[in-house]
Structure 1
Amino acid sequence: MKAYTVFNVAQCDGLDEAITGIIPLDIDLRCDLPRVEAADRTISASGVRFINHPDKAFYRPADDVIAIPLMAAYNDPINWYRTAFHELGHATGAKHRLDREFDRFGTQKYAREELVAEIAAAYLCAAHNIEPTVRHADYIGSWLEVLKGDNKAIFSAASMASKASDWILDQATAAPKALAA
């Protein structure tokens, strides 16, 4: 028998992309696809670490990281921003930000969090004059179905989404002041 020390790839820095399948977001920022500079600044000012993932977008609370495919992976590159803002909406729920409770897929808390993130994404897209081809209303409607018995679900989620998008936009507003200090 032999003993081996094993590390999760997510716990390692500096590994080759061929090993990890993920690359830092800054590589994507140099792509030739159309960019929305104000949205890029907002994402950057959030302070949340973004990494590229080959085929999935998600927020991982354990290490406060957002993984997202390269912009080129989207049929319409503008939808990359909708996805980034959705995941950033989730990231505002971290304890050191707005402290929302996360739960497992299929629960009412999970459905509520999905509503918050999607509504926040819609607010942030509107704030940056981004019109994604993906329809926020359809996605929101699917999660409202899970919360059918809660007449106030949409209002509660919209309120939390407003706080989330305000927090994100406040970081972007404060960023230049922090750099000047």
Structure 2
Amino acid sequence: MARASSPARSTRTERASLYREITDKIIAQLEAGCVPWVQPWSTGPGTAAVTMPRNAASTRAYSGINVMLLWAAAIENGYATQRWLTFRQALSLGGCVRRGEHGTTVVYADRFTPEDERQRADRDGDQARQIAFLKRFTVFNVAQCDGLPTEMLVPAPPREDLILPRFRALMEASGVTIRIGGHMSFYRPADDVIVLPPPEAFHEPINFHRTAAHELSHATGHASRLNREMKGPRGGACYAREELVAEISAAFVCASLGIVPTVRHADYIGAWLEVLREDDRAIVRAASHASKAADWLLGRLLDAESPASAEAEAA
């Protein structure tokens, strides 16, 4: 008689399957020449405006790997907005998902401590071990629903007026030393300095902002900030992982400020593919670190723009 699978073993299998499913999707996009954190805006009009995806009911912004999953779904299906709902949320708002529509998978990742492990730690006087888990949810774009409030279906207008002034403010609010000059861009952890060519050195001035967002994302990993693992020789796996984090974070920052993301280092795609093929959790981890990096930078910007901050400067 076959032995029944334990719930814990089934959960581990489902989690591993979900990591592999997500990773295979990202690998397929990269192999096809579509970088999933920039591609949604490369196909011209008719697609969603440059913005971060949000839950239409709670207005909460999605983060981590979910941003890329929803961006990819929006461009594949030609949705005009980046607002998403669960089936039940659509009903609670007086609407419904149209019959025959297929949802998009998003995930919720966290860690928990089993009760028996908590008891063991208490008994032995050491720290309890946490277990990572990943859960699957299905969401639908508001364009897949009927009966929703009209304002949910109207794309948010682009805020071109926010791009340059707010990006300058972002750079200043970061507190990172930024030296503009020369012909190379890089972040130097040893003395916590970013070096950038002047804006006029770029073929398109907007690329100065994209490049600066990339280097600022690297800087968030400094020990005095998010303390991210950044060591490793150029071309190695650790180096490729950190570049992946910085590229995705820069895309999140740019999208949040209305700047179209782009690939700053297209030649890294081969290294990213190698990392993803070897570790099916690498893209989820990288997206999580990228969200934290972008949140750190944008959080400093919001703090600097707050009324309390303005009053303190005026005092």
The bucket for the TM-score relative to the shorter chain is 0.7 to 0.9
Offset, 1:143: 3.5
Deviations 1:12-36 (A, max 9, x none): xxxxxxxxxxxxxxxxxxxxxxx71
Q: Secondary structure at the match of 1:56?
A: coil
The code of the aligned residue for 1:135 comes to: V
TM-score under structure 2 normalisation?
0.44
The answer as to 2:216 corresponding to 1:88 is yes
Q: Alignment partner of 1:67: what SS?
A: strand
Aligned to 1:173: 302
Matches of 2:257 and 2:270 in 1, distance apart? 25
Cα separation, 2, equivalents of 1:168 and 1:98 = 11
Aligned pair partner of 1:54 in 182, 185, 198? 182
Aligned residue number for residue 200 of structure 2: 72
Asked whether 1:100 is paired with 2:231, we answer: no
The Cα shift of 1:146 comes to: 3.1
Identify the match of residue 63 of structure 1 among 153, 175, 191.
191
Contact 1:115/1:143 (CA < 8 Å) preserved in 2? no
Contact 1:119/1:140 (<8 A) preserved: no
Kept after mapping to 2: 8 A contact 1:92/1:167? yes
Residue ranges of structure 1 left out of the alignment (5+ in a row): 1-34
Counterparts in 2 of 1:70-149, with a 5 A limit?
70-103=198-231, 104-132=233-261, 134-135=262-263, 138=266, 141-147=269-275, 148-149=277-278
For 1:159 and 1:138, the matched residues in 2 are separated by 21
TM-score (norm 1): 0.75
Distance of 1:137 and 1:74 partners within structure 2? 15
Query: Partner letter of residue 223 of structure 2?
Result: K
Summarize deviations over 1:52-95 as a string: whole Å, max 9, x none. Answer: 23111000111111000000111111011010000000000000
Question: In structure 2, what is the equivalent of residue 160 of structure 1?
Answer: 289
Task: Specify every segment of 5 or more residues in structure 2 that has no aligned partner in the other structure, as ranges.
Answer: 1-162
CA RMSD of aligned residues (A): 1.9
Quickly say closer, same or farther: Cα 1:136–1:158, change in 2 above 3 A.
Answer: farther
**Cα gap change, 1:89 to 1:143, in 2 (>3 Å):** farther
* Contact 2:247 2:263 survives alignment (8 Å): no
For the 8 Å contact 1:144–1:154, the answer to whether it is kept is no
2: CA distance between counterparts of 1:143 and 1:123?
21
More strand by share: 2
Counterpart of 1:157, as a letter, is: A
Give the paired residue count. Answer: 146
Mapped contact 1:111–1:146 kept (Cα < 8 A):
no
Find the residue that maps to 1:59 and give its secondary structure: strand
How far off its partner does 1:140 sit? Answer: 6.3
Q: Pick the structure with greater CA Rg.
A: 2
Shift of 1:144: 1.6
Letter in 1 for 2:291: S
